Chains A and B, each alone.
Chain A
Amino acid sequence: MERKTKVNAEEGKQELIITREFDLPVRLLFKAYIVPEIVEQWMGTKVLVLESRAHGSWRFETSDPRGNVVFRANGVIHEFVPNQRITRTFEMEGTPFPVQLEFLEFEALTDDTSKLTMHIVFKSAEFRDQLLQLPFAQGLNMAHNRLQEIANKLK
């Protein structure tokens, strides 16, 4: 399968850039970022607050199947230009990660295709690298949990 999503993280820099082209008109791409019910579907999280306007705020929450909250994040929206740009902060609650700044640029390529550029600025290059490793660490944790479950069954 073609790799549509690209992540560019230059060595030693405190920023990273995610780009992706979509077979969607830019207005539908943008809509996916502002309608809470849609955001919930593709982000796999619950949207507690999403005020899509300048000086608005947002807050997402993810629970495990037992209902325990495993992830909560929030931020404020600094700039909101429909079908063009969202500038916002992103902070994971209850973690040592400092707030990060996100510049989302929405661009029409043709009438039916569009491009998203997500430029994320971190407090330091070290925090960026730690964040990049999170999915890997979570993968290990999940493997660990499965091992634990199997081990418990054998007891």
Chain B
Amino acid sequence: MNLRRDVFQAIADPTRRAILLLVASQSMTAGAIASNFDTARPTVSKHLQILTECELLEKEQNGREIYYHLNPKKIKEIADFIEPFRELWDDRFNKLEAIMKQYK
């Protein structure tokens, strides 16, 4: 499967985005992450697995615990990272066009 699409599918899910936000500031165990959600623990585990598979999250063994943290390199790579920027300008230019048509 196309890796790029995997990454975008990964961040398309609101729970997975929330997980990314949680671990953005600090490494966390699966248990600590799951405690932030009402979702069943296995569901959270599945989300963590998906995020780890597409390398948005990295696992680190620390004693008996496994900690998850963000992989900033991968976040940076999110292939079409230009797209939000393009949409920002597209929105602005669409507005510009709509406004100026009134002056015709």
Segment of A5-13, A63-71, A80-88 engaged in the interface with chain B: A5-13
A7 B85 Cβ-Cβ under 8 A: yes
Question: Hey, what's the 0/1 contact readout for B67-101 against A, CB within 8 Å counting as 1?
Answer: 00000000010100110111111101111110111
Measured CB to CB, the closest approach of chain B to A123, in angstroms, equals: 18
Segment of A52-60, A90-98, A100-108, A135-143 engaged in the interface with chain B: A135-143
Total contacts A to B, CB within 8 angstroms?
A: 84
Q: How far is the CA of A22 from the CA of B20 in the complex (A)?
A: 38
Q: Does A29 contact B (CB under 8 A)?
A: yes
Measured CB to CB, the closest approach of chain B to A5, in angstroms, equals: 4
On chain A, the residues within 8 Å of B14 by CB distance are 143
Q: How far is the CA of A135 from the CA of B85 in the complex (A)?
A: 6
On chain A, the residues within 8 Å of B21 by CB distance are 140, 143-144, 147
Number of interface residues of A (CB under 8 A): 34
Given A31-B100, A133-B81, A135-B84, A140 contacting B20 (CB threshold 8 A): yes
Overall SS of chain B's interface: helix
B85 A31 Cβ-Cβ under 8 A: no
B82 A7 Cβ-Cβ under 8 A: yes
Number of interface residues of B (CB under 8 A): 28
Q: Does B41 contact A (CB under 8 A)?
A: no
B96 A32 Cβ-Cβ under 8 A: yes
Q: Does A48 contact B (CB under 8 A)?
A: no
Q: Does A38 contact B (CB under 8 A)?
A: yes
Given A129-B76, A147-B18, A32 contacting B100 (CB threshold 8 A): yes
A31 B90 Cβ-Cβ under 8 A: no
Question: Hey, what's the 0/1 contact readout for A17-41 against B, CB within 8 Å counting as 1?
Answer: 0101011110011011000001001
A5 B81 Cβ-Cβ under 8 A: no
B82 A3 Cβ-Cβ under 8 A: no
A24 B88 Cβ-Cβ under 8 A: no
Q: Does B4 contact A (CB under 8 A)?
A: no
Q: Does A4 contact B (CB under 8 A)?
A: yes
The 10 closest A-B pairs by CB, nearest first: A135-B84, A5-B90, A42-B95, A42-B96, A7-B86, A28-B100, A136-B84, A32-B96, A135-B88, A20-B93
Residue pairs across A and B with Cβ atoms less than 8 A apart, 16 shown, are: A3-B86, A4-B93, A5-B86, A5-B90, A7-B86, A24-B101, A28-B104, A38-B99, A42-B95, A44-B92, A129-B76, A132-B85, A135-B85, A136-B78, A136-B85, A143-B14
